[in-house]
């Protein structure tokens, strides 16, 4: 196991840092920004990564960079000792991927096995963390037409719904160890740097902007700043536990999303990409892209969380102007 440590890290941590955080997926869209925010708030951040040198270049503000293999328990689990919280974001991307049986296994294993082995590692720790924040997705609910989805809504039956359900089950086992567990059901994150907007941006710029599927399905979303804010809120608010919908309180229909994105870019959005066409390109993943998910972040709203970008137009204007 390879561990990279910053010079004078122990002395620095003793005098400046407060609580120790272990995070996976720190080089991703959410993880990189969240890691920076944690460091700015004087948390001592240890990053679990397959490539410590790459992680250090992407997120240079951590104290430790620990090489881990989620398939296999090992010395990396020792780093849970005296840790305040574990934040688990790692998982194979589902954006723009063709869901072959092989890739579906990768999607599932990268979430289920990694979470299982993290919880096993925590179980073997003498001084256990207090908090386990684990990613999940709104795909938990499956295609739900016009149904309003809150945290108590039932799980769906498709592939991603079952993955999310299993994922949350593995995370929930941390509760048996005395940890406060939060599974953050994340909506598509809006950012120009990665994800859906990055894919659609060049098409809209070349007047090929389009609504996906029928356009009548509900599209739930969250601004990159608000998903990072959600993780920090869940970390620091002891009243938050269990599943949490991380989604704007104002989902829109897909046609409305395309219209507003085109409007912000001064481009029309007059086309539609039928589900059959998407299916020919990316296979089963088309079912998840065009699923109707009308998600409401009831638990966040009930506990006083304030969204920075609750409305789509303001979120798109901010992202288009800042290129975040």
- 318: domain CATH number is 3.90.25
Q: Are residues 260 and 241 in the same domain?
A: no
Q: Are residues 159 and 254 in the same domain?
A: no
Q: Are residues 286 and 166 in the same domain?
A: no
Q: Are residues 71 and 163 in the same domain?
A: yes
Q: Are residues 29 and 58 in the same domain?
A: yes
Please report the pLDDT score of residue 199 as a whole number: 83
CATH number at residue 62: 3.40.50.720
Q: Is residue 62 part of a domain?
A: yes
**Which of these, 85, 87, 19, 79, lies nearest to 59 by C-alpha position?**
87
Q: Is residue 304 part of a domain?
A: no
**Which of these, 94, 146, 142, 95, lies nearest to 251 by C-alpha position?**
146
**Mean per-residue pLDDT for 67-95?**
92
Q: Is residue 299 part of a domain?
A: no
Rounded to whole angstroms, what are the CA distances from 58 to 22, 52, 55, 125, 189?
16, 10, 5, 29, 19
- 221 near 243, Cβ under 8 Å? no
Q: Are residues 147 and 259 in the same domain?
A: no
3-state SS of the chain is: CCEEECCCHHHHHHHCCCCEEEEECCCCHHHHHHHHHHHHCCCEEEEEECCHHHHHHHCCCCCEEEECCCCCCCHHHHHHCCCCEEEECCCCCCCCCCCCHHHHHHHHHHHHHHHHHHHHHHHCCCCCCCEEEEEEEHHHHCCCCCCEECCCCCCCCCHHHHHHHHHHHHHHHHHHHCCEEEEEEECCEECCCCCHHHHHHHHHHCCCCEEECCCCCEECCEEHHHHHHHHHHHHHCCCCCEEEEECCCCCEEHHHHHHHHHHHCCCCCCEEECHHHHHHHHCCHHHHHCCCCEECCHHHHHCCCCCCCCCHHHHHHHHHHHCC
Q: Is residue 303 part of a domain?
A: no
Rounded to whole angstroms, what are the CA distances from 104 to 72, 98, 140, 275?
20, 9, 16, 20
Q: Is residue 118 part of a domain?
A: yes
Q: Which of 44-58, 112-126, 164-178 comes out lowest in average pLDDT? A: 44-58
| Domain carrying residue 271 | 196-218+250-293+309-322
Q: Are residues 183 and 106 in the same domain?
A: yes
- 258 near 210, Cβ under 8 Å? yes
Q: Which of 41-45, 95-99, 258-262 comes out lowest in average pLDDT? A: 95-99
Domain count, the chain: 2
Q: Are residues 49 and 163 in the same domain?
A: yes
Please report the pLDDT score of residue 16 as a whole number: 44
Distance separating alpha carbons of residues 122 and 14, to the nearest angstrom: 23
Q: Write down the pTM of the prediction.
A: 0.91
pLDDT category, 275, cuts 50, 70, 90?
confident
**Which of these, 167, 192, 194, 193, lies nearest to 181 by C-alpha position?**
167
Q: Is residue 300 part of a domain?
A: no
Q: Are residues 136 and 200 in the same domain?
A: no
- 109 near 258, Cβ under 8 Å? no
Q: Which of 129-143, 179-193, 271-285 comes out lowest in average pLDDT? A: 271-285
Please report the pLDDT score of residue 17 as a whole number: 46
| Tokens describing residue 148 | 């309003």
* Dihedral pair phi/psi, residue 248, rounded to 5°: -55, 145
**Mean per-residue pLDDT for 54-62?**
79
Q: Is residue 273 part of a domain?
A: yes
Q: Are residues 213 and 75 in the same domain?
A: no
Q: Are residues 40 and 10 in the same domain?
A: yes
Q: Is residue 160 part of a domain?
A: yes
pLDDT at 188 over 80: yes
Distance separating alpha carbons of residues 312 and 212, to the nearest angstrom: 17
- Token pair 């998840």 in the structure block, residue: 288
Q: Are residues 176 and 36 in the same domain?
A: yes
């Amino acid at each position: 196991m390879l561990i990279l440590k910053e010079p004078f890290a122990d002395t620095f941590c003793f005098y400046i840092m407060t609580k120790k955080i272990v995070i996976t997926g720190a080089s991703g869209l959410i993880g990189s920004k969240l890691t920076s925010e944690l460091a700015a708030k004087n948390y001592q951040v240890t990053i679990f990564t397959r490539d410590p040198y790459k992680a250090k270049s992407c997120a240079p503000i951590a104290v430790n960079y620990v090489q881990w293999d989620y398939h296999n328990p090992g010395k990396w689990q020792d780093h849970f000792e005296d840790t305040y919280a574990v934040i688990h974001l790692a998982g194979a991307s589902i954006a723009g991927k063709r869901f072959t049986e092989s890739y579906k296994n990768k999607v599932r294993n990268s979430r289920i096995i990694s979470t299982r082995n993290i919880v096993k590692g925590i179980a073997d720790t003498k001084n256990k963390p207090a908090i386990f924040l684990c990613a999940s997705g709104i795909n938990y609910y499956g295609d739900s037409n016009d149904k309003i989805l809150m945290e108590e809504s039932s799980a769906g039956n498709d592939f991603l719904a079952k993955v999310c359900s299993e994922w949350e089950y593995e995370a929930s086992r941390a509760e048996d160890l005395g940890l406060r567990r939060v599974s953050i059901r994340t909506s598509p994150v809006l950012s120009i740097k990665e994800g859906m907007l990055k894919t659609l941006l060049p098409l809209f710029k070349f007047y090929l902007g389009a609504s996906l599927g029928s356009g009548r399905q509900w599209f739930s979303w969250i601004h990159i700043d608000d998903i990072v804010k959600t993780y920090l809120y869940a970390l620091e608010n002891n009243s938050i536990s269990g599943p949490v919908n991380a989604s704007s309180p104002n989902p829109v229909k897909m046609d409305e999303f395309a219209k507003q994105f085109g409007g912000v870019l001064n481009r029309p959005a007059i086309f539609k990409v039928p589900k059959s066409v998407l299916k020919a390109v990316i296979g089963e993943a088309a079912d998840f892209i065009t699923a109707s998910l009308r998600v409401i972040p009831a638990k966040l709203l009930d506990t006083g969380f304030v969204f920075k970008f609750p409305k789509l137009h303001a979120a798109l204007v901010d992202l288009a102007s800042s290129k975040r």
